[in-house]
Amino acid sequence: MNIYSVKDKLKKLIWVGSIVFALALILLPLYLLIKYSISDASSINTGGAPIPLWPYHPTLKCYKYLFSDTQFYNVLSNSLIIALLTVIISMILGVPAAYVLGKYKLPGRHLLILGLISVRLFPDIASVIPIAEFFIKLRLHNTYTSIVLAHSLLALPYVIFIGMSAFESIPLDLEQQARVMGAKGFTIFFRVLFPLAMPGLAAAAIYTFLLSWDEFIFAYFLLGLGKITTLTLFLKQKLAYSPPQNLLATISVILSVPVIIFSLLLQKYMAAGITTGSVK
Amino acid sequence: MAQVILKEISKKFGLIQVLSNVNLEINSGEFVSLLGPSGCGKTTLLRMIAGLETIDSGELLIDGKRYNDIPAQNRKIAMVFQSYALFPHMTVSKNIRFGLKINKTPEDEIKKKVEWAIELFGLKGLENRLPKEISGGQRQRVALARALVLNPKVLLLDEPLSNLDAALREMAMEELKRIHRQVGKTIIYVTHNQVEALSMSERIAVINQGKIEQYDTPRTIYDFPKTVFTASFVGSPVMNFFDGIISSCQDEIGIQTDFVFIKLDAERMEKLKSFKNKKVKVGIRPQNISYAEHHESKRASDTMIQVSIELLETQGDRSLVVSKTSSNIILRFMVSRDINIKSGEMVDVFLDGRRIHLFDPSTNINIFY
């Protein structure tokens, strides 16, 4: 009995230890970012002394500076508009596709799915050139249209994939039950299937938003020289002028905040076992 | 309420013949069970009536009208799935009002009907719960309520009690019977559980391998099984079978088996005369073999035999005895649990001649049918 409990305790210790270690690895950069973003100059340029674990005089100076800058507001709203439009476009196109692929065993379905995955087989840096050229030829570069379409292209395979499994996981019984009760195609979709696929679709939407929000390569090639600056491009621009570290860190924190918030939200949605209890 | 007629219905899934030439007439307001082992096609038949499966050939008539090509959503037939298929994102009351709402029922009427259903099925207090927050028995009642508020022509039930435990199932069976009496709907009930079929339905269609073996009242199915399949599928413990030949012995006609000469009741003995020298498969239920000690007045139709006890299986108030005849044929019978017999013992038992079933071994059909 005792031996087992010692063994169990050791096991537990190893588990907890590895979790703490992994967590530390993940959280360290975040800690550094936040620390720098609220650091005063004396905590960064210490003149040879070790950099303190926590700034001597924490300050929100950099945040105040950024949020008093009208250009920064412009950049923020650009990123937000592009991300939201990307979500709308890729959901409008992706959800019906996901529904059809998830619910109907079409001939050639596997080929279609393979085709969708293949879009994501190329690294962004490889696919960006032809896409950029395409938009330049259409004289659409430096426009919202080009970047939103490009981001939608990146997001669509994910939307379709996540959405497909969301629709697939809804028991056929529910659909047929609705039909027997007198519901037709559209009613079944909007009153039964869509609400049940909602957690999955919401996850796909959030994922799309994040994908667009912190996307750099396509933004750089399609908008790089124009009037539209996104948050990632803004960071790149600032980096070129070797600005104070705390300002860069602050931009990064602002860039990361939605990512962190949405990732937490996503987790809640992903974990929700909403279909439990309907079908045994 | 509606009358349902199936005419020569057949169905194939790929190469597999699921149903062949099924004929069934269900009267308006009748409670009919489709009883059979899993994979016999009973659920497919039900789904065809609901419109969820196409009909390859044959005709489905409801109140005299051909329904083959009417889509499921226009049939006004309600179905309760084995899984109950409650909409998980809707509360109990929303589940019940769903069908009324999509059929554009006026709001005050919806309210009245939902209240009626909640009252009828004892769901008060659960209106705002989600399906995952109620018990299995409650889910089953919600599924029934949801089906009945639509005032369907026919109510189809696909093994609705199979997810319930024994005690709940008994209660649910009583409730279903009560509901049927109250609302008088035509009910078609699919089950593999003979107790459910025997105790609830007015008529049972026994289905095996896509064919209807027998369609009759529970009592007739039990007392006068048409085929060997029905005889062995309905009734528990399973009926005993052994071979025999119709012959006469000392001017009396009966069945000669390799361990005893069996007599029947006078009425059927008379009929047996025309089957003389015919080989038969003899069937007798364990309940119709009685331990001699408790058989004070032996009837003329009873046959006494001696068997050796192989083993005893206590089943609560009674015991199932597995015994062997002198010719090593296994006979199962029931005794009260107070009877003190042990395995290895030789005992006398009576075969009740009135309850002996005779089948033609080549067709497996009851020779008196």
Residues B131, B361: Cα–Cα separation, whole Å: 51
What does the pLDDT read at residue A3?
67
Which tokens is B315 given? 């089943």
Residues B9, B48: Cα–Cα separation, whole Å: 10
Residues A121, A197: Cα–Cα separation, whole Å: 27
Residues B169, B159: Cα–Cα separation, whole Å: 11
What does the pLDDT read at residue A279?
41
Four-CA torsion A239, A243, A247, A248, nearest 10 degrees: 20
> Out of A180, A187, A278, whose CB is closest to B88?
A278
CB contacts of B153 in chain A (<8 Å) are none
Where does residue B301 rank: exposed (0-12), middle (13-18), buried (19+ CB within 10 A)?
buried
Give the pLDDT mean for B275-281: 91
Q: What is the band of A268 on the pLDDT scale with cuts at 50, 70, 90?
A: low
Residue B294 has pLDDT above 70, yes or no: no
Q: What is the band of B132 on the pLDDT scale with cuts at 50, 70, 90?
A: very high
**DSSP per-residue letters across B287-329:** GGEEEGGG--S--TTEEEEEEEEEEEEEETTEEEEEEE-TT--
Which tokens is A257 given? 């905040």
What does the pLDDT read at residue A280?
35
Alpha helix locations (H) across B227-287? 228-233, 266-272
Angle between helices A109-119 and A144-168 (to 10 degrees): 140
Q: Mean pLDDT in chain B?
A: 91
Choose between A263 and B73: higher pLDDT. Answer: B73
Summary count for chain B: helices (H), strands (E): 9, 20
- Looking at chain A, the whole-number percentage of residues with pLDDT higher than 70 is 90
Distance of CA B298 to the CA centre of its chain: 32
Question: pLDDT tens digits, residue range A201-226?
Answer: 988 898 899 999 989 899 888 887 67
The answer to whether B83 contacts A173, with C-beta atoms less than 8 Å apart, is: yes
What does the pLDDT read at residue A1?
52
Question: pLDDT tens digits, residue range A154-213?
Answer: 999 989 988 998 898 899 999 999 999 999 888 999 999 999 998 889 888 988 999 999
The answer to whether A278 contacts B51, with C-beta atoms less than 8 Å apart, is: no
Phi-psi region of B90 (alpha: psi -120 to 50; beta: other; left: phi over 0): beta
Instruction: List residues in chain B touching A: CB distance below 8 A.
Output: 50-52, 72-79, 81, 83-89, 98-99, 102-103, 130-134, 136, 139, 146, 150, 163
A218 close to A131: Cβ distance less than 8 angstroms: yes
The answer to whether A180 contacts B77, with C-beta atoms less than 8 Å apart, is: yes
Q: Residue B333: which of B322, B325, B344 has the closest Cα?
A: B322
Min mean pLDDT across A212-221, B148-157, B292-301 is at: B292-301
Residues B38, B47: Cα–Cα separation, whole Å: 15
Please give the interface size between A and B, counted as residue pairs whose CB atoms are below 8 Å apart: 88
Within 13 Å of residue B296, how many CA atoms lie on the same side as its CB? Answer: 0
B48 close to B10: Cβ distance less than 8 angstroms: no
A97, B71, B205, B244, B281 from B360: Cα distances, Å: 60, 44, 21, 10, 6
Q: Which amino acid is at B338?
A: D
B32 CA to chain A: closest CA distance, Å?
20
Residue B31 has pLDDT above 60, yes or no: yes
Question: pLDDT tens digits, residue range B321-359?
Answer: 999 999 999 999 998 888 888 888 999 899 999 999 999
CB contacts of A174 in chain B (<8 Å) are 85, 87-88
Sign of CA dihedral B198, B202, B208, B209: negative
What does the pLDDT read at residue B291?
86
Phi and psi, residue A4, nearest 5°: -60, -45
Phi and psi, residue B234, nearest 5°: -100, 130
The reply to whether omega before B286 is within 30° of 0 (cis) is no
A231, A280, B164, B170, B293 from B167: Cα distances, Å: 65, 19, 8, 5, 34
The set of residues, in sequence order, having a beta carbon less than 8 Å from that of B165 and lying 6+ positions away, is: none
Most B CBs within 10 A among A276, A278, A280, hence the mutation to make, goes to A278
Q: Residue B75: which of B46, B95, B108 has the closest Cα?
A: B46
Q: B94: nearest CA in chain A?
A: A191
> Out of A177, A182, A191, whose CB is closest to B81?
A177
Alpha helix locations (H) across chain A? 2-37, 41-44, 61-67, 70-103, 109-119, 124-137, 144-168, 172-180, 185-187, 194-213, 217-223, 231-240, 245-271
Residue B366 has pLDDT above 70, yes or no: yes
Q: Residue B22: which of B53, B51, B44 has the closest Cα?
A: B44
Within 13 Å of residue B166, how many CA atoms lie on the same side as its CB? Answer: 1
Residues B17, B20: Cα–Cα separation, whole Å: 7
Where does residue A37 rank: exposed (0-12), middle (13-18), buried (19+ CB within 10 A)?
buried
The answer to whether A277 contacts B139, with C-beta atoms less than 8 Å apart, is: yes
A107, A148, B139, B166, B178 from B172: Cα distances, Å: 44, 58, 12, 10, 10
CB contacts of B131 in chain A (<8 Å) are 277-278
Q: Which amino acid is at A196?
A: L
Give the pLDDT mean for A97-106: 88
| Length of chain A, in residues | 280
The answer to whether B130 contacts A176, with C-beta atoms less than 8 Å apart, is: no
> Out of B103, B133, B136, whose CB is closest to A182?
B103
A206 CA to chain B: closest CA distance, Å?
21
> Out of B51, B102, B146, whose CB is closest to A183?
B102
CB contacts of A196 in chain B (<8 Å) are 87-89
Choose between B293 and B210: higher pLDDT. Answer: B210
Give the pLDDT mean for A118-141: 86
A1, B70, B145, B272, B283 from B266: Cα distances, Å: 74, 54, 51, 10, 18
CB contacts of B139 in chain A (<8 Å) are 277
Work out the number of other CB atoms within 10 angstroms of the CB of residue A277.
Answer: 18
Q: Which amino acid is at B286?
A: P
Question: pLDDT tens digits, residue range A225-240?
Answer: 678 888 888 888 888 8
CB contacts of B85 in chain A (<8 Å) are 171, 173-174, 176-177, 278-279
A32 close to A55: Cβ distance less than 8 angstroms: no
B290 close to B323: Cβ distance less than 8 angstroms: no
What does the pLDDT read at residue B365?
93
**ipTM of the complex in this document:** 0.85
Which tokens is B99 given? 């069908």
Distance of CA B186 to the CA centre of its chain: 17
